[in-house]
Structure 1
Amino acid sequence: MKTSLGAKTLASPTPTWVVCAYDAAGKPNGATIAWGGICCSKPPCLAISLRAATYTHGCITASKAFTVNVPRQDQAVIADYFGMASGRDTDKFAAAGVSAGKSDLVSAPYLQEFPLVFECALTHVVELGLHTQFVGEIKDVKADPEILTDGKIDMEKLGTVLYSPATRQYFGLGPLLGAGFSIGNAYVK
């Protein structure tokens, strides 16, 4: 028998992403989010959710663009910091010692030091309650060559960071379990 935990946001793990956008003055800003994921394959889209009270929420609303920046495990401290400080009164990039790059296809900055970046144009805004969901069409994916194997993202080389809403802790990616649409063949008759 299972134990009821109630209606809570305990789906685990979630990605640890830093979402970046320009503010009204053109200053790069970013915030760490855990509410996000792929939401459509054609066109390729990401959905992220932020509280309206956050500075980044206003930046995305105004600029109609954002980037999703995926840290390596050794960058978890930077990602955590971007979720703690407010861009209203802090230049998070300078404080964390990271650089803002300029996206080629959307009007949004990205973290140059992070190995994987999704450039997104805002397509939908959905008010959900405490959070607003922003859907962005992925216009480009930029990856450091070091995380690629045969032109594809190598999850072991990326060493992505996962977050547990239940415990408010960061984790690393575990070992490979098998190939998708393959390991379940044991049940196919």
Structure 2
Amino acid sequence: MSRSPFPLSRVYGLLEPGPVLLLSTAHQGRANVMTLSWHTMMEFEPPLVGCVVSDRDFSFAALKATRQCVLNIPTVELAQKVVDCGNCSGRDTDKFATLGLTPLPAEQVAAPLVAECYASLECRVVDTRLVNRYGFFVLEVVQAWLDADRKDPRTLHHRGYGAFMQAGETIQLPSKMR
């Protein structure tokens, strides 16, 4: 096996573990949605998710002010809308209208669910200690929604620089974990 140097600026594409998300917020009467791939599970019960939102993103101020959002999980059928969402700013674009996404009322937070997504996780910010330094928010999932009619959903996984993978075949192996 041969090894060659790999650019440090592309390491995240090797480690990206989870699906690309659409993070939705609502602030000052305005709903917004952004593409997010920098997130990680932190705890199982209650479910805690860490995510990085840059202070350059329009959603950052809304998330910091309201301390609420929805993590929406799109499938490959929404791939182009996911990319388009990430390529424009909520500062000057109503992304829901422009991209043909449908906001639905959430049950426990003010931010909307995205109807076209396979699953939606209503979240509250529970830790902001790393926000100012890294843009890292710790979210607690307070309500989860799943479209049970979608069998074998294929999620998108960002590899960097416009490259994506889709989730593949599910395999089941013996495990003591439940």
Normalising by structure 2, report the TM-score: 0.87
Where do 5+ consecutive residues of structure 2 fail to align? none
Residue in structure 1 matched with residue 101 of structure 2 by the alignment: 98
CA distance in 2, matches of 1:81, 1:63: 25
2:25 counterpart of 1:21? yes
Q: CA deviation at 1:6?
A: 4.7
Deviations 1:122-162 (A, max 9, x none): 11121375x41111100011011213xxxxxx5x2x21111
Residue in structure 2 matched with residue 163 of structure 1 by the alignment: 158
* Corresponding residue to 2:140 among 112, 137, 142: 137
| Aligned positions, number | 171
Q: CA deviation at 1:14?
A: 4.2
Residue in structure 2 matched with residue 185 of structure 1 by the alignment: none
Judge conservation of contact 1:14–1:164 (CA < 8 Å) in 2.
no
Same amino acid, percent of matched pairs: 20
User: Structure 1 residues 103, 12: CA separation in 2 closer, same or farther (over 3 Å shift)?
Assistant: same
Residue in structure 2 matched with residue 3 of structure 1 by the alignment: 4
SS in 2 for 1:171: strand
Runs of 4+ in 1 over 4 A off after TM superposition: none
CA distance in 1, matches of 2:174, 2:62: 37
Structure showing greater Rg: 1
Judge conservation of contact 1:65–1:122 (CA < 8 Å) in 2.
yes
The alignment yields a C-alpha RMSD, in angstroms, of 1.9
Q: CA deviation at 1:13?
A: 4.9
CA distance in 1, matches of 2:115, 2:154: 17
Deviations 1:46-103 (A, max 9, x none): 1111111110011100111010010111111111111111001100000011111121
Judge conservation of contact 2:59–2:90 (CA < 8 Å) in 1.
yes
* Corresponding residue to 1:118 among 106, 116, 121: 121
User: Structure 1 residues 41, 173: CA separation in 2 closer, same or farther (over 3 Å shift)?
Assistant: same
Q: Which amino acid aligns with 1:2?
A: R
Residue in structure 1 matched with residue 167 of structure 2 by the alignment: 173
SS in 2 for 1:135: strand
Normalising by structure 1, report the TM-score: 0.83
* Corresponding residue to 2:74 among 71, 75, 100: 71
CA distance in 1, matches of 2:53, 2:89: 13
User: Structure 1 residues 49, 3: CA separation in 2 closer, same or farther (over 3 Å shift)?
Assistant: same
Q: Which amino acid aligns with 1:139?
A: V
Q: How does 1:39-50 map to 2 (within 5 A)?
A: 39-50=42-53
Where do 5+ consecutive residues of structure 1 fail to align? 148-153, 183-189
Q: How does 1:53-68 map to 2 (within 5 A)?
A: 53-68=56-71
